[in-house]
Amino acid sequence: MRSPIAVIILTFNEENNINDCLESVKDFAAEIFIVDSGSTDQTLEILSEYPVQVFQHPFENYSQQRNWALQNLPITNSWVINLDADQRLTEEFKTEVNQHLNSGKLENINGFLASRKTMFMGKWIKYGGHYPTYHAMTFRLGKGVCEQKLYDQHYLVEGEMIKLKGDVIDLITESLSTFTLRHDKWSTLESVQQFSNVNSSTATISGKFKGDSMQRRRYFKNLYEKLPLFVRPVLYFIVRYFFRLGFLDGTRGLIFHFLQCFWFRFLIDAKIYELRKTKNK
């Protein structure tokens, strides 16, 4: 029996990922919606083999794409799960969600927090503070919205949420080339966001030291952004790799933590520095 849940998946040239993503949800969700932004590979052909509803919508940024989906798709179920094509639902996650939905005890609950289980070069990145990291991926329709940020967006959910034990698998890269290309693009978005403070007047998750896991993480990110450029990525890498035990993830962990905690953050700072120099000319 399928759950009364609609799954929304964003795609753009995801021929290498979409099969496994759909296999993880096809016998679980009552509805599966694909919001594609003009794929030119075999993605659409693969989608035609599954019981999904495909909608085309031009991509502006992740926030607008996700909110467009929530506001415009013909969803008939009361709960939604938001996925990217490189994510997969685990059996533990699906079983736990079903148990809650069938319990009849969700009157005051509007969402579920689940941790992403990051897979990098075929290895689970378990240390360095990278697991568990909880996200509001599932909520009642009409009770959640994606915050308006250019990068690192999360869902704002009205009301109480339950923290799940089951994870969502996140395949963070197909190759190192893909990883660096994506993070180069994301570093541009993050640098513009920090430089311009473009989300200052929009609803975002508030940083709270004693808040839920997402609010606490945003609290520390806000502190990080107040530190001097080029100093903060060094400190961040030291904390994540040594104090948060990232070195226990082995050689692939070293590659991941160095690229994600230092190189990516340093690139953001370099682009902010470039923006400042350009503005002062």
CB 166 within 8 A of CB 217: no
Cα of 114 vs its chain's centroid, Å: 11
Question: Per residue in 59-91, pLDDT tens?
Answer: 999 999 999 999 999 999 999 999 999 999 999
Tell me 54's DSSP state: E
CATH numeric code, 3-171: 3.90.550.10
Residue with tokens 């959910």: 157
Three-point CA angle 69, 72, 78, nearest 5°: 80
In the chain, where the domains are located:
3-171, 176-279
Q: What are phi and psi of 185, to 5 degrees?
A: -65, -45
Q: Which CA distances in Å does 83 have to 125, 137, 148, 176, 239? A: 20, 8, 17, 22, 30
Question: What is the pTM assigned to this prediction?
Answer: 0.92
> Which neighbouring-strand residues pair with 139?
80, 111
Q: What is the largest CA-CA distance in the chain?
A: 63
Q: Long-range contacts of range 239-244, CB-CB < 8 Å, 24 or more positions apart? A: 239/129, 240/128, 240/129, 240/130, 241/128, 244/127, 244/128, 244/129
Alpha helices, DSSP H, located in the chain: 18-23, 43-47, 62-72, 91-101, 176-196, 213-225, 232-238, 250-257, 264-279
**275 Cβ partners below 8 Å, 6+ apart?**
191, 192, 195
Handedness of CA 132, 236, 61, 110 (dihedral sign): positive
* Tens of pLDDT, residue by residue, the chain (281 residues): 689 999 999 999 999 999 999 999 999 999 999 999 999 999 999 999 999 999 999 999 999 999 999 999 999 999 999 999 999 999 999 999 999 998 888 989 999 999 999 999 999 999 999 999 999 999 999 999 999 888 888 999 999 999 999 999 999 887 899 999 999 999 999 999 999 875 544 578 888 888 888 888 889 999 999 999 999 999 999 999 999 999 999 999 999 999 999 999 999 999 999 999 998 87
Q: What are phi and psi of 23, to 5 degrees?
A: -60, -30
